[in-house]
């Protein structure tokens, strides 16, 4: 058989670039609504092919995104105050996400009796924001432009960090798009104003967020142990209306009750720091903190917010894969993101 790889940018519904093999999208082989194509096409097991997020189409032309979800890598880790390595997060999470790309035309969940992320949910991978070493402002600006491009196209932006400083340009990109509430799932408060002149490190993002006129409030869940935020930071956060819950407090009230504390009707931005999880299941991060969440505690919070709120943006940060030779941390990140996206688009079908 003749192998003819080409870039196809001529889709009549929009110039999304996709890798095609003899007319079939090899990154998303079974994209028809009619179901899987095991008998007629390639098997395309998860370990084959190009590792875009979920093995969905690569969309390098940010001026021509035509999708429901646009995934952007933000491989910046110069904002860290301890172990670096989150610059390798986007690649690791993309690689891990291929595990969930069996080509079943969606993922059937028997507990929910729902098929998530069928071919009707169009996800593209924008690639990475350009990172300029030693230059936080330029790197953050490139991330902001990527998120803005996703928003302008009408797609839901999903950013994979990078350290938590990459949340700063994500929130900046939402300027002019209406008021938002932020749900932060994290071990650390990240509410430092300024220290030694640093205002855009990974300890600063929630402080930068509340300075925005369009950020109406914060819900900060999973906060525990030592942090770069001192007592004054907690007092400042609470004075600005922040709702701060530790893992033990959140666990005692249950995921549904935690989410019901978020103001009803709020448009929600969700920022997930992987160090919110227990290091026993997520050791691949720069500042691990024992006593963290387990998988279903966070998954059930995400399922609840997807049912209750409009989600306007997501970031998942601080996966530093080299501290976890098992790869479980990146798999956790990919599994969370894909399930969260599944819940969001499934909730729209019920609305």
| Phi, psi (rounded to 5 degrees) for 125 | -110, 115
Residue 338: which H helix or E strand, with range?
helix 328-350
Does 128 contact Mn ion by CB under 5 A? no
The tokens for 345 are 């688009």
Does 273 contact Mn ion by CB under 5 A? yes
Does 315 contact Mn ion by CB under 5 A? no
Residue 30: burial class (beta carbons within 10 Å; 0-12, 13-18, 19+): buried
CB of 273 or CB of 315, closer to Mn ion: 273
> What is the 8-class DSSP label of residue 204?
S
Candidate segments 149-157, 181-189, 193-201, 258-266, binder of Mn ion by CB under 5 A: 181-189
Does 186 contact Mn ion by CB under 5 A? yes
CB of 122 or CB of 164, closer to Mn ion: 164
Closest approach of Mn ion to the CB of residue 239, in Å: 20
Candidate segments 52-60, 120-128, 186-194, 288-296, binder of Mn ion by CB under 5 A: 186-194
CB of 186 or CB of 324, closer to Mn ion: 186
Does 77 contact Mn ion by CB under 5 A? no
CB of 180 or CB of 316, closer to Mn ion: 316
Cβ contacts of 252 within 8 Å, gap of 6 or more: none
CB of 80 or CB of 153, closer to Mn ion: 80
Residue 257: burial class (beta carbons within 10 Å; 0-12, 13-18, 19+): exposed
CB of 44 or CB of 315, closer to Mn ion: 315
CB of 76 or CB of 345, closer to Mn ion: 76
Cβ contacts of 318 within 8 Å, gap of 6 or more: 86, 89, 161, 162, 163, 164, 202, 273, 274, 275, 285, 286, 287
Residue 74: which H helix or E strand, with range?
strand 69-74
Candidate segments 28-36, 96-104, 183-191, 246-254, binder of Mn ion by CB under 5 A: 183-191
Total residues contacting Mn ion by CB under 5 A comes to: 5
Distance of alpha carbon 58 from alpha carbon 152, whole angstroms: 18
Closest approach of Mn ion to the CB of residue 190, in Å: 5
Binder among 44, 190, 315, 324 for Mn ion (CB under 5 A): 190
Candidate segments 85-93, 148-156, 164-172, 277-285, binder of Mn ion by CB under 5 A: 164-172
> What is the 8-class DSSP label of residue 286?
S
Distance of alpha carbon 333 from alpha carbon 317, whole angstroms: 9
Q: 224 to 253, contacts with Mn ion by CB under 5 A?
A: none
Q: Which residue has the tokens 């430092």?
A: 192
Contact 254, 245 (CB under 8 A): no
Binder among 140, 148, 164, 181 for Mn ion (CB under 5 A): 164
Q: Which spans of this chain sit near Mn ion (rule: CB under 5 A)? A: 164, 186, 188, 190, 273
């Amino acid at each position: 058989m003749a192998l003819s790889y080409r870039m196809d940018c001529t889709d009549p519904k929009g110039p999304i670039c996709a890798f095609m093999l003899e007319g079939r999208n090899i990154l998303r082989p079974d994209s028809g609504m009619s179901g899987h194509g095991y008998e007629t096409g390639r098997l395309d097991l998860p370990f084959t092919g190009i590792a875009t997020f979920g093995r969905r189409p690569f969309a390098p032309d940010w001026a021509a995104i035509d999708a429901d979800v646009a995934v952007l890598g933000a491989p910046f880790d110069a904002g860290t105050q301890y172990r670096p390595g989150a610059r390798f997060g986007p690649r690791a999470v993309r690689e891990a996400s291929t595990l969930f790309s069996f080509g079943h035309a969606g993922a059937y969940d028997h507990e929910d009796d729902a098929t998530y992320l069928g071919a009707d949910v169009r996800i593209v991978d924008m690639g990475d924001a350009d990172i300029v070493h030693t230059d936080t402002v330029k790197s953050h600006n490139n991330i902001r432009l990527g998120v803005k491009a996703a928003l302008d196209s009408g797609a839901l932006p999903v950013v994979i960090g990078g350290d938590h400083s990459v949340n700063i340009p994500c929130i900046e990109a939402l300027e002019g798009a209406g008021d938002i509430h932020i749900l932060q799932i994290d071990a650390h408060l990240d509410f430092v104003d300024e220290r030694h002149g640093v205002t855009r490190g990974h300890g600063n993002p929630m402080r930068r967020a509340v300075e925005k006129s369009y950020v109406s409030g914060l819900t900060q869940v999973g906060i525990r142990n030592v942090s770069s935020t001192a007592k004054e930071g907690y007092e400042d956060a609470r004075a600005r209306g922040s709702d701060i819950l530790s893992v033990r407090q959140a666990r005692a009230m249950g995921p549904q009750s935690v989410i019901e504390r978020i103001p009803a009707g709020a448009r929600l931005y969700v920022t997930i720091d992987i160090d919110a999880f227990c290091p026993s299941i997520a050791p691949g991060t720069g500042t691990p903190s024992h006593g963290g969440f387990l998988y279903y505690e966070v998954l059930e919070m995400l399922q609840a917010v997807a049912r209750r709120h409009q989600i306007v943006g997501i970031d998942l940060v601080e996966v530093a894969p080299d501290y976890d030779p098992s790869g479980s941390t990146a798999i956790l990140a990919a599994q969370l993101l894909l399930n969260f996206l599944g819940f969001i688009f499934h909730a729209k079908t019920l609305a």
